């Protein structure tokens, strides 16, 4: 039976770690640097530009919309939110007439 002290284990671990670090450093030094072309460009399609514009519009009007949504949520929670079936029917008819 071989007895190994804590100091021997620590020394062995330290030696192994140092060896692995040397391997990593050697591997890193063998890597070739990647040269990036400073002329790289990205072009967005007209659809992507349209979507970006719509997103900007939506974000700019979100404050008003958020307030409206909060008011409606409060009315629903309080049980005071009412829906006018006449207004809904009128809009359905209006939209049907447009198409």
Range of the domain at 69: 62-99
Residue 51 lies in a domain: no
pLDDT of residue 81 exceeding 70: yes
Residue 4 lies in a domain: no
pLDDT at position 31, please?
66
Total domains in the fold of the chain: 1
Q: Which two tokens stand for residue 62?
A: 């979100």
pTM: 0.31
pLDDT of residue 2 exceeding 70: no
Select, from the ranges 5-19, 26-40, 78-92, the one with the highest average predicted confidence (pLDDT).
Answer: 78-92
Residue 38 lies in a domain: no
Residue 40 lies in a domain: no
pLDDT in tens, 49-63: 888 888 887 777 666
Q: Which two tokens stand for residue 39?
A: 């002329």
Q: Which two tokens stand for residue 65?
A: 């919309």
């Amino acid at each position: 039976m071989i007895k190994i002290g804590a100091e021997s284990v620590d020394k062995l671990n330290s030696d192994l770690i140092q060896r692995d670090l040397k391997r990593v450093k050697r591997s890193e030094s063998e890597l070739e640097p990647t040269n990036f072309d400073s002329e790289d460009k990205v072009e967005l399609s007209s659809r992507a530009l349209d979507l970006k514009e719509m997103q900007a519009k939506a974000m700019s009007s979100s404050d008003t919309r958020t307030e409206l949504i909060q008011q409606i949520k409060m009315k629903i929670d309080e049980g005071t939110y009412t829906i006018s079936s006449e207004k809904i029917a009128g809009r359905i008819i209006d939209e049907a007439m447009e198409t």
